[in-house]
Amino acid sequence: MTIKSTSPMVVEAGDVVLPEFQSIGGSYADYLTDLTWSGHVPLPTDVVDYLILKCDQDRAMVSATHDLALSTWDLGHHSPFSCFQLQPKEQSIDSSDQFEEVLVDFENIESPSLSNALILMPSISENPDLTWDDQFLFDHYVRDVGSNMMPVEHARNPWKSDYPALALGRTWGSNKILYHAIISHAAFHLAHMPLRDANKYALIGSKNYAIAIHELRLNIDNDLTDFATTVASILSLMFAEIYSGRSRYWRHHHEGAWKLVESHRSRNILSFTDFTRILMHNLNIARTISQTATGLDQDLENGDVSEATELSTTPSLSAMISSSPAYGFTIGASGTVLDCISKITRLQHVIANQQNDITHHVDETLESILSQLNCCRNQTLGDMVEDEYANQQPSLQTLLERSQNKAFIYATYIYLYRTLFDVPPRSVRGYVAETLRHVDDFFSLSGGNFSIWPAFIAAVEAYTVDDMAAARRWLERSTSFGMGNRESVEKVVREVWRTREERCEALDIDLGIIAVDWREVMREMDCDVLLV
């Protein structure tokens, strides 16, 4: 690796290039001081606290990944704890390329070359007119919030490339909306981190959120010349709501974005760009996951009005999106598993609203779902056997992706049996243990942000000492990422446990045969959490 120096005179020392000191008067420390702090203003105390905290977290992450010889190289940032910019040996980065779009072959999205690729981050140094707070929050969004948005680091992470790059054209239209939306998103994240000045960031988040909403209202009725940026702006506002912890309001933005996509459906939006395709993926994934909590009967006001007209229009749009290449990679699940989750939700709706004999339809659909899930599970087992036979150690990214995918598979079994057959927790205990084991495996290798849905689906059905302990470990980790909705997630899980224990004492029966519907608990708590 190479440590860069601003001095024109260098001397090589092994693999490291260091500045050569020439005595020209004054001390060696004086010579270095000017270089270290040149062009930087003093940092506020709350920012220093945050950077120290991040330094500890980064050290833990490096320790976890060191044995597998994989590292993530930063492009440098405004932090006194990373004064030098590190790059892999014999590799250079041309700053003129930082805003070029990363073109990806979606058919080979899991290619090893992609897992080792360097994410191209827009640099705040290119925008000196930003206020210091905005510079700090923009950088925080790219470095930290962007990483939180996916469970595993990926070269095509749109929150670390496309979103910030588009937001830098912040002086007009949808780019301006996106800029204020991601600043709001970053600020709400910091407001939920262990900082002394959380109120300051909550205020900044609210201010930029209000500006983004105002600009959105001014532009939404105009001819949308930049469809993708407008959808990205609305989704960013949705995540700002999620990170702020204000339950239920996120759904307004999601429904608005969905209706906007429907209105532009005739334009063959999936053929626009890679970024547009990923936006559609994320929008549909959020819809699939949100409907596991509400079913297909949902209303923004009271949650009990059937959207009957939706059933004739959305399946084809959802199918169009979910059938496109690489669907699901941003949440850590395969497109097949997400399709199974969607089918289970829709089948439950059909059963609950049956008017004629639908036994044959139910049997066929159920057989299809189980066949898909069994194929997915067998595929993961086959991959492990193949690695052992070849006597090779999978990469860190492969191990993390497998943990995510396996957790989704086993959690989908849980969702199927609990949703369609209302079986007690004892009947799905094996799937619960497997899901939580893969959650533990993930965190033993990474400090990444494990997707909520599979862990939550298993946690609410946990009743044994070991499974509840594993669920508590996940809750402790999950609530440390600065996402306000995670607090609501924890409350729902603990309320399900409390309800089960209360009924156990009242009925004097085993915990494992007491079924508690977490969706009913969520409704009673007036809580609407997006489990992504």
pLDDT under 70 in the chain at which residues? Answer: 1-128, 170-171, 196, 222-225, 270, 297-315, 355
Do residue 30 and residue 167 come from a single domain?
no
Helices (H), 446-484: 452-459, 465-478
pLDDT value, residue 384: 74
pLDDT value, residue 110: 40
Global pTM? 0.76
pLDDT value, residue 23: 41
pLDDT value, residue 49: 58
Do residue 374 and residue 510 come from a single domain?
yes
Do residue 339 and residue 287 come from a single domain?
no
d(CA 109, CA 162): 17
pLDDT value, residue 376: 95
Do residue 132 and residue 44 come from a single domain?
no
Do residue 367 and residue 263 come from a single domain?
no
Do residue 291 and residue 339 come from a single domain?
no
Residue 510's SS3 state is coil
| CA dist 144 → 31, 261, 323 (Å) | 33, 29, 30
Residue 100 counted as domain residue = no
Do residue 320 and residue 451 come from a single domain?
no
Residue 455 counted as domain residue = yes
| The domain boundary residue, chosen from 37, 72, 91 | 91
In sequence order, what DSSP letters do the residues of 138-160 get, joined into one string?
A: HHHIIIIIHHHTSSS--TT-GGG
d(CA 239, CA 223): 25
Do residue 356 and residue 503 come from a single domain?
yes
Do residue 57 and residue 133 come from a single domain?
no
Residue 103 counted as domain residue = no
Do residue 174 and residue 317 come from a single domain?
yes
Indicate the pairing of strand 2-3 with strand 86-87. Answer: antiparallel
Total tally of structural domains belonging to the chain: 3
Do residue 399 and residue 259 come from a single domain?
no
Residue 38: domain span: 1-91
pLDDT value, residue 311: 43
| The domain boundary residue, chosen from 329, 347, 366 | 329
| The domain boundary residue, chosen from 37, 67, 91 | 91
pLDDT value, residue 294: 87
